[in-house]
């Protein structure tokens, strides 16, 4: 098969696969609208099965979604934000009723609005408007010694703000969804976490204070900064975005494909893009790249990140089993465990849960979400990859709730203790869990690819547009917002 078909990676190249109108350049992507909800039946099935996972595992009493399942788990607040985004998609697809989606959404947003906040180390859900990364599934209180997380709070609020845009009816519960979502957002003290000049900390522990790591390298953190800059109550200065971009030159590379802002794990190119339509809008840094690469934006950067992932799988410099033009995808995901083992005469190092990327902690573990949640960035390549994974590994990997989190065809036997999953004869190691933060992007980004649904509503979300404009973005749809 011609490798170039898999390496195209652009919406233009894959338009026919999605049944959307193609345009002649990326400069026109912001005007591109799906003309049909038709996609490949296997992608359609994957989206529905993955959606059903959220309905199956989310706690109806408080709206909390587990970090993983079926292993007993705490809740991930980011996964809750993804669930909130999935409920309206389920209504539009005919998988649940509006009434059920409304009830689930209001239950969740009420819980977070009313949950206790305070500086103590236990018995609370958050502090200063932020929420802890992991919460007890029943009480909703801080789980263990996890951090008050700025990015997980941002992803939760992203789901709330989308729900507030989607539930636009006169029903009293829909009005309450809108009111509570904005209230939760407005009480977040973003200026409190600006511990160092023009930088936002990744989080805080009641035991030790602010985390030393900041959002200061290209990754999934764009939504954090945009919500912080756009806050109507506790904003941070726009100079935070300038500082964010000031280190981009460290990431600007063509090592694994066309020149782009590199961040190895694919989730870094997906998470903020679930809620923000970056097609055709640019900040000052992107505008300055025009003499070098032409019209370029963050959406196109993610397109190139997909191309880089595919090229890395084709080159396969470490010789892992299964990597190819048709099967690829590295991101943060489960792995077999933390140990070394000789495989076919070569010592290999394997990891448990870890952020994997091209040349970065690559241990042969492939995560279906890396490709499947990239559908808008490379429709043809992603569709082919999903089909290839199902055809080759489907009996062990693909279930009633979609893909299990990850698999590793290189590790076919071991005497080591596996931290996750099992060895499947003829396949290799296969995870035993689904992870909420990997399931959600599959549902959401598939819908953005097929109907523009989340993006369309968030283009009218005033808090997001305020943040974008303050950060210096212009062009495309934003000029009309």
Which CATH number fits the domain that encloses residue 237?
1.50.10.140
Q: How confident is the model at residue 7 (pLDDT cuts 50, 70, 90)?
A: very low
Is a pLDDT exceeding 50 seen at residue 5?
A: no
CA 113, CA 100: separation in Å to the nearest integer?
20
Structure tokens at 80: 């809750």
Closest CA to 146 of 136, 156, 154: 136
Count of alpha carbons within 13 angstroms of residue 466, beta-carbon side: 13
Total domains in the chain come to 1
DSSP designation for 249: G
Within 10 Å of residue 435's Cβ, how many Cβ atoms?
A: 26
Structure tokens at 52: 């059903």
Q: Check: CB of residue 442 under 8 Å from CB of residue 471.
A: no
Q: Please identify which residue in the block is written with the tokens 């652009």.
A: 10
pLDDT digits (tens, 9 = 90+) for 110-140: 999 999 999 999 999 999 999 999 999 999 9
Packed helices 436-451 and 41-57: angle between N→C axes, nearest 10 degrees:
140
Task: Tell me the helices (H) and strands (E) count for the chain, helix number first.
Answer: 18, 20
Cα-flanking dihedrals φ and ψ of residue 2, to 5°?
A: -65, 115
Domain span at 474: 3-480
Query: Please, which residues have CB within 8 angstroms of residue 238's CB and are 6 or more apart in sequence?
Result: 229, 470, 471, 472
Within 10 Å of residue 193's Cβ, how many Cβ atoms?
A: 27
Query: Please, which residues have CB within 8 angstroms of residue 479's CB and are 6 or more apart in sequence?
Result: none
pLDDT the model gives residue 21: 29
Q: Is 195 helix (H, G, I), strand (E, B) or coil?
A: coil
pLDDT digits (tens, 9 = 90+) for 191-228: 999 999 999 999 999 999 999 999 999 999 999 999 99
Within 10 Å of residue 31's Cβ, how many Cβ atoms?
A: 12
CA 11, CA 278: separation in Å to the nearest integer?
14
116: region left, alpha or beta (phi > 0 left; psi from -120 to 50 alpha): beta
Q: Please give the biggest Cα pair distance in the chain.
A: 67
CA 194, CA 201: separation in Å to the nearest integer?
6
CA 155, CA 454: separation in Å to the nearest integer?
14
Q: Please identify which residue in the block is written with the tokens 């609020």.
A: 157
* Average pLDDT value for residue range 45-53: 98
Is a pLDDT exceeding 90 seen at residue 22?
A: no
Helices (H), 325-430: 368-372, 379-397
CA 297, CA 329: separation in Å to the nearest integer?
22
Structure tokens at 473: 């973005």
pLDDT digits (tens, 9 = 90+) for 61-110: 999 999 999 999 999 999 999 999 999 999 999 999 999 999 999 999 99
Packed helices 150-166 and 172-186: angle between N→C axes, nearest 10 degrees:
150
pLDDT the model gives residue 38: 67
* Average pLDDT value for residue range 1-10: 27
Q: How far, rounded to the nearest angstrom, does the alpha carbon of residue 206 sit from its chain's CA centroid?
A: 27
pLDDT digits (tens, 9 = 90+) for 389-411: 999 999 999 999 999 999 999 99
Cα-flanking dihedrals φ and ψ of residue 308, to 5°?
A: -65, -40
* Average pLDDT value for residue range 273-298: 95
Question: From the CA atom positions of the chain, what is the Rg in Å?
Answer: 21
Query: Please, which residues have CB within 8 angstroms of residue 51's CB and are 6 or more apart in sequence?
Result: 86, 89, 90, 93, 95, 443
pLDDT digits (tens, 9 = 90+) for 415-428: 999 999 999 999 99
């Amino acid at each position: 098969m011609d490798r170039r078909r898999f390496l195209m990676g652009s919406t233009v190249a894959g338009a026919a696969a999605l049944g959307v109108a193609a345009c002649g350049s990326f400069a026109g992507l912001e005007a591109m609208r799906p003309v049909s909800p038709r996609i490949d039946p296997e992608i359609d099935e994957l989206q529905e099965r993955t959606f059903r996972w959220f309905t199956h595992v989310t706690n109806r009493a408080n709206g909390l979604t587990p970090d993983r399942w079926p292993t007993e788990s705490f809740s991930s607040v980011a996964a809750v934000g993804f669930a909130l985004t999935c409920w309206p998609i389920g209504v539009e697809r005919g998988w649940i009723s509006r009434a059920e989606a409304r009830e689930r959404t209001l239950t969740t947003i009420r819980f977070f609005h009313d949950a206790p906040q305070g500086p103590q180390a236990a018995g609370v859900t958050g502090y200063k408007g932020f929420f802890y990364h992991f919460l007890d599934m029943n009480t909703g209180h801080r789980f263990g010694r996890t951090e008050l997380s700025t990015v997980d709070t941002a992803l939760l609020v992203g789901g709330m703000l989308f729900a507030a845009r989607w539930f636009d009816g006169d029903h009293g519960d829909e009005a309450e969804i809108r009111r509570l979502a904005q209230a939760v957002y407005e009480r977040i003290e973003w200026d409190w976490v600006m511990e160092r000049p023009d930088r936002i900390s990744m989080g805080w522990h009641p035991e030790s204070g602010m985390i030393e790591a900041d959002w200061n390298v290209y990754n999934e953190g764009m939504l954090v900064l945009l919500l912080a800059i756009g806050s109507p109550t506790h904003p941070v200065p726009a100079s935070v975005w300038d500082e964010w971009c000031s280190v981009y030159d460290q990431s600007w590379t063509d090592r694994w494909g066309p020149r782009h802002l590199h961040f190895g794990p694919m989730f870094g190119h997906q998470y903020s893009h679930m809620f923000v339509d970056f097609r055709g809008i640019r900040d000052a840094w992107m505008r300055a790249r025009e003499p070098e690469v032409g019209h370029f934006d963050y959406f196109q950067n993610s397109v190139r990140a997909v191309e880089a992932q595919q090229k890395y799988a084709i080159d396969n410099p470490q010789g892992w089993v299964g990597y190819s033009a048709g099967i690829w995808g590295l991101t943060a995901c489960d792995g077999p465990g933390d140990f070394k083992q000789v495989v076919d005469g070569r010592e290999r190092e394997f990891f448990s849960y870890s952020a994997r990327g091209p040349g970065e902690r690559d241990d042969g573990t492939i995560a279906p979400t890396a490709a499947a949640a990239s559908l808008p960035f490379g429709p043809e390549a992603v569709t082919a990859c999903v089909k290839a994974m199902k055809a080759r590994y489907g009996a062990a990997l693909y279930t009633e709730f979609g893909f299990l989190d990850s698999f590793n065809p290189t590790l076919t036997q071991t005497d080591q203790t596996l931290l996750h999953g099992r060895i499947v004869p003829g396949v290799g190691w296969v995870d035993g869990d689904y992870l909420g933060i990997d399931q959600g992007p599959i549902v959401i980004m598939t819908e953005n690819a097929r109907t523009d649904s989340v993006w369309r509503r968030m283009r009218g979300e005033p808090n997001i547009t305020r943040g974008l404009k303050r950060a210096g973005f212009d062009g495309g749809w934003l000029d009309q917002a």
